[in-house]
Amino acid sequence: MSDIFVTNKVCRDFIVGKETVHAIKDVSITIQEKKLVALKGRSGSGKTTLMNILGALDYPTSGEVMFQGKNISQASDKERDDIRRYKLGYVFQSFGLLPLMSAYENVEFGLRIADIPKAERKKMAQEALAIVGLSKRMNHRPLELSGGEQQRVAIARAIAHRPAAVLADEPTAELDSRMGLQVLKLFRNLVDNEGLTVVIATHDPAIMEVADVVYTLEDGQVVQGD
Ligand SMILES: Nc1ncnc2c1ncn2[C@@H]1O[C@H](COP(=O)(O)OP(=O)(O)OP(=O)(O)O)[C@@H](O)[C@H]1O
């Protein structure tokens, strides 16, 4: 199986006043295709910083990040934009749905941003909502859905354009444990049945039930991986 993300001694520093915060230090990890990989660790351990770097949303201060064999830390803005738009999908803690649009419209809007032609958008949006089990709720607006359902709409939006990988930052933090587990199992299904690679940053202990590989971060360093 091939590697989809490889980081080599990645560091990210933030300058705050006169101090330098070493948010992540010398992180070297490999993420294989079609796996569910967890980045686990306490608040402040560097999970979001590493996710943003993997997702081409931020640059490392030093070190290399490879995505599908390409060094994205040195890629042009256009190449990075294309990776974000076409190759990756993102899921955030607070769902990020547009409140005045229905579930279907939220997913369809994501497909417009990914430049999917109009003629294909309807079928792709409906398929993505079917995968997350929300075909019957697709005309509901976010506030007419439970938190778990809203997160499933956000997942449908993240997968509808058929990216290679989905990056989810604390996707269960605003859900109770039952709904959180449902969402984690949905990610597991996406890996097993849709051939996606999923990377989840979380401190939710239930991740241990679904992850293939867990990297534990402590003070910006990977202390454990299996
Ligand atoms: N933009 C920034 N400016 C300054 N410091 C930052 C910035 N982003 C992150 N940090 C610092 O880097 C460290 C790692 O933060 P990060 O958000 O990656 O951790 P985290 O594990 O995702 O935490 P949480 O679970 O609370 O989101 C923290 O000490 C944080 O204060």
pLDDT in tens, 45-68: 999 999 999 999 999 999 999 999
- Taking CB atoms within 8 Å and a gap of at least 24, the contacts of 68-73 are 68/4, 68/164, 69/3
Report the residue among 42, 47, 92, 170 best suited for mutation to probe ligand 1: largest number of ligand atoms under 8 A from its CB.
Answer: 47
* Structure ipTM over 0.90, yes or no: yes
Is 9 domain-assigned?
no
Is 182 domain-assigned?
yes
Measure 11 CA to ligand 1 centroid, in angstroms. 13
Q: What is the pLDDT of residues 10-43, one digit of tens each?
A: 999 999 999 999 999 999 999 999 999 999 999 9
Measure 200 CA to ligand 1 centroid, in angstroms. 16
Report the residue among 12, 14, 204, 223 best suited for mutation to probe ligand 1: largest number of ligand atoms under 8 A from its CB.
Answer: 14
Backbone angles phi, psi at 42, to 5 degrees: -65, 170
Measure 108 CA to ligand 1 centroid, in angstroms. 32
With left for phi above 0 and alpha for psi between -120 and 50, is residue 34 left, alpha or beta?
Answer: left
How far is the C-alpha of 115 from the C-alpha of 138, rounded, in Å?
Answer: 21
How far is the C-alpha of 55 from the C-alpha of 19, rounded, in Å?
Answer: 26
CATH code: domain of residue 81 = 3.40.50.300
Q: How many domains does the chain have?
A: 1
Is the distance from the beta carbon of residue 23 to the nearest atom of ligand 1 less than 6 Å? yes
Is the distance from the beta carbon of residue 102 to the nearest atom of ligand 1 less than 6 Å? no
CA-nearest residue for atom 25, ligand 1, is: 43
Is 190 domain-assigned?
yes
Is 81 domain-assigned?
yes
Atom of ligand 1 nearest to the CA of 14: 4
Is 4 domain-assigned?
no
pTM greater than 0.80 (yes/no): yes
pLDDT of residue 226: 59
User: CB-side exposure of 67: number of CA atoms within 13 Å?
Assistant: 22
Is 82 domain-assigned?
yes
Is 122 domain-assigned?
yes
How far is the C-alpha of 74 from the C-alpha of 167, rounded, in Å?
Answer: 21
List the chain residues with pLDDT less than 70.
225-226
Residue 181 belongs to what domain range? 34-59+76-225
Q: H/E element holding 40?
A: strand 36-40
Is 215 domain-assigned?
yes
